[in-house]
Every structure is written in C-alpha cells, then in structure tokens.
A and B are shown apart, each in its own frame.
Chain A
Amino acid sequence: MGTRWDLKRMLFNLSALVDLGQEVTSAKGYAERMRTAVYVITGMFSVPRAALFVYDPEQRALVHVAGKGNEELQDVRLSLRSSDVQQLPRNEPFPIRDMRTVPFFQRYEDILAKLDARVMVALFAKDEFIGVLTLGRRLSRKTYLRSEWDVLKVAAHQLASAVHNARLFAQHAEKARENKRLYEDMRRIYHETIEAFATAIDAKDEYTKNHSYRVAHYASAIARQMGWRKEQVEAIYIAGLLHDIGKIIIDRKVINKDSDLTSQEKEEIKNHPQVSYEILSKIRFPWKEVVHFIRHHHERPDGRGYPDALGEKDLSDGVKILALSDAFDAMTSDRPYRQRLPLAEAVREIERCAGTQFDHHISTVFIKMLEQEIKGKSHGQPILESMKMEIKAFRDANGPRYNA
C-alpha cells in the first residue's frame, strides 16, 4: 500500500513539476507567472499560505512579488545585510525553526510568523541570489518526506531560473528600448541634417525655394502609388531632397542668370548630377539606390539625357520617377528666364514627352494621380498643395471633365 501511494505521490509531483515548467515559461506577465508558480508549488504540498520574495539589488531588500493567503503582507520588504545571504543554504529547503539564532530570522521573526512561514528555500541561479520562497503550515502533515524535500528542491531550482531569466529579459528589453530611442534620435538627426542640406541647396536659387522638398514630395507620392515598400519610398524622398546638392558649387550668378547661358555655364549646370553623385557617394546611405537616382535624374528614356546618356533599359524606375518629378516642378515654378507653365500646360507637356523625355508608364501614373486630385477624388496625401490656384484655373479651363 505504502509503495503504491508513494508511486502515486511521485507521479502527482512529477506532473506538478511539468505544470511548473509550463507556467514559468508561459507567455503570461511576470507577476502572473510567479503567482501561478507559487500556486503550483503550494498545490504539491497542500500548503494554504506561501510567499515569494525576490531580491532587489538596488534596494538591497527582498520584495514580495507573489503569495497565497498573505494579502495583507503584499507590500512587505525585508532589508538584507550582506552576511544574511551567506548564511542561507542554496536551493535547499530548511525548516525556519532551525534558524532561530541567525540574525536575519531574528530580525524578521514577526513577519515570518505573520506569514505562517514554516519552511524556506533560498533561491539561487548561477551563483546569483534570486530571493526566497516561504511555505506555511501544511494542511495534513507537519513534516516533509525525503522525496518531497527533493521535489521542492527541483521546484526551487526551476523557480530561481524563471526569475533569473525574467530579470535578464527585463534588462535586455530595457536595453532594446534604449537602443530604439538612440536609433530614433539618430534617425531624426539624419533627417534633419538632410533637410538642412535641402534648405541650403534651395537657398542658392531664389526662384526655386523649396524645389527639393516639392520634388521629394512628388517622387515619394508616385513611388507610393506604384506600390513601393516604405523604405524604398523613403529612399526616393531622400533622393528628392538631395538631388541638386551638386549645385552648391555653381556660382549663384549662373543659377539665377536671366539671360542665355554661355556654353561653359551650360556645362557647369549640366555637371551638377555628377557633382551631386561625387559628394553623396562618400555617404553610406541606408539605401544605396539614393546616389544612383541622383546621378541619373537628368537622364531620358530616348538616351538624350546626361551625364551618361543612358537608354531606357538602363534607367531604373527610381531614376525615371525622380526625373519626372524634377521636370514637373521646374515646369510649374517661375525661373529667372521664364514664368511657370499653367498646370494644364504642364500636364500636356508630360503627355507630349511621355516615351521620350519621360517614362511612358510613370507619366501615365502621375497624370492619373494629378487628375484624381484635381477632381477631388484622391484618397492619399495631396500632392499639389502649393497649387490650389492652378488647380482651380485648370478646372475652369478644362470644363466639366475636371469638375468634381
């Protein structure tokens, strides 16, 4: 009979240890995992009252994190002296009555009595002190069998590892949050630096204030419409902001000249994509396409662009989008040597040059986007924010087709 019950008890305890393993590694929150772990252990030994204290190194104190039957003692903290821990057996359960002469137990005799603590296990994981588990009076037995003591030892090891892992996880999570904050700061600084460059580029030319911002805006809107991924859209936005950086070496007088340029001045202007490329190729952008887009933003599908006179097949979509966005903004902005084109005329110009100066498909996409916005049917972010008057004029000039 005794052997049969011993076997059944062993099976129940093994099954409880499996429960404990599952509970301490479950996806529940830390406090809940600890509370359930205490319940599993108290269920193994029919103990109505128990408490789990975890060591807080900053406070140098044991902090109550979970318990059973001790609701009134939830805020209890037990300060520790460095010698206290050395006097505790590691993961070995012991009767508290055997420790009456030890200072820690003398100091907290009252609290331990209130907890009805009869047995304690000091939890250690990899030589690190984790905390203590106290178990109250058992419901039916006063003592523990040798085998139960061993099971409690195994449970204590599991609990110690769980708390240790939770602590490590919390430390890593904090580090990850800190890294994320640093990354966000770096990213903000990166964007602000690029925007500062864009402002500096645009400041060079009084006629084209905010040109870089508008090109970035058009280009990213087209890319988004074409289904580009978020990071690709960001890349073309950055390319839009920086595409004219090569112009910073051109004399302001040349850029703002209202008469015909000399052939040398023309060459100087035509050289700016190459200069932009040389400046930016020294920067390791998160997206390597940025410098490629910028170098070729004056290339054309018919091969008559510069600096490399590439043909249609050699031009990426990003290059084509940036070229169209740049040209559209140039057409719809005043220049020293001419006034801006009305929106309707700019649209017609894109249509006329689709397949030669501009990519046919991308031109169609862009014109469709413009039409939707003019009709007031666009669902995305407006792309023609700075052209409200032109939109009205366009609607008036083109009749009901463009009146929403």
Chain B
Amino acid sequence: MFRTVSNFSLSLKTTDDVVVMTPRGYVDGLGAGQMEEASEAVLGKGAKKLIVNFSDTQFINSVGVSVLTTVVHRTQQSSGMLCFTNMKRVHREVFDLMGLTKHVKVFNEEDDAILYLNRTKKN
C-alpha cells in the first residue's frame, strides 16, 4: 500500500496474551502502512491486549495518526484493550489533540502497561 521510502521498522513481541508493537523511526507513509498491516494481523488472530511502545518513534504525521485511529477503533470493536507507552511529549500532545488518548490507557513504561494488562487478566 503506502510505498514511500521511509526510515521505519516495527518489532512485535508477545508475552502471554499481551502483544507489544514497537514502531521505530518515522510513522508516516510506509511506516504507517506496515503498522496497519501488523495490527490487522495481530487483531485478526484474536489478540485482545495490545501495547504500542513509542520509545523509538521519531515522527508521526497525519497518515500515522490515521492508522493509529484505526488501531484504536478495531481494538474497541473487538472489545480489546490498548495501551500507549513511552510517548515523547510531542507525540502525547498530538494524540491528546486528536482524542486518541481518551480511548487508550497511557503508561510511562511498557512494563507498567504489561503489569496492568496482566492484572486485568487475573481479574
């Protein structure tokens, strides 16, 4: 889909039933496309607990916000839980502005989000 040249990579790790996505570099054109495909695949397999760790994310543009909007929407549709962690101030401001943070749990650290999601599992 989005085929611009971009400085982006995405890592995925699964611990128990928690999936952590770590987008690195620029979440624009190509990066956003990869993220959308990866999140579709993860949610399609039935994942209900998702974390997006922004610690290595340098830049997010409107295409990136659009894809994150979809991730939020799909997680809601599947009654899943989504956490955003390690956001830089500039990213946090954009997500607040666009209303994304109203629909996700925000944590400073990924471990806190994992703990929260695992605790939720126990409940």
A positions within 8 Å CB-CB of B: 5, 8-9, 12, 15-16, 19-20, 23, 26, 28, 32, 35-36, 39-44, 46-49, 68-69, 138-141
Contact = CB atoms under 8 A, between A and B. Distances in A.
Interface in B30-76: 32, 61-67, 69-70, 72-74
A139 B72 contact: yes
Please report whether the interface of chain B is mostly helix, strand, loop or mixed according to DSSP.
helix
Given A16-B61, A39-B62, A68-B70, A46 B99 contact: yes
Interface residues of B, number: 27
Nearest to B98: A46
Closest 9 CB pairs of A and B: A140-B99, A43-B66, A43-B62, A48-B73, A16-B62, A43-B65, A39-B66, A42-B66, A39-B63
A42 B99 contact: no
A390 to B, nearest CB: 59
Given A8-B97, A140-B103, A43 B69 contact: yes
Nearest to B101: A140
5 contacts: A32-B1, A35-B2, A39-B66, A42-B69, A44-B65
Given A9-B97, A19-B63, A139-B72, 19 more contacts: A5-B97, A8-B93, A12-B97, A15-B61, A23-B63, A32-B3, A36-B2, A41-B62, A43-B62, A46-B69, A46-B98, A46-B100, A48-B69, A48-B70, A48-B73, A68-B70, A139-B73, A140-B100, A141-B99
A23 B66 CA distance: 15
B123 interface: no
Interface of B: 1-4, 28-29, 32, 61-67, 69-70, 72-74, 93-94, 97-100, 102-103
Contacts of B28: 19
B36 to A, nearest CB: 9
A139 B69 contact: yes
A43 B61 contact: yes
Contacts of A47: 66, 69
Contact of A40 (B4, B63, B94, B103): B63
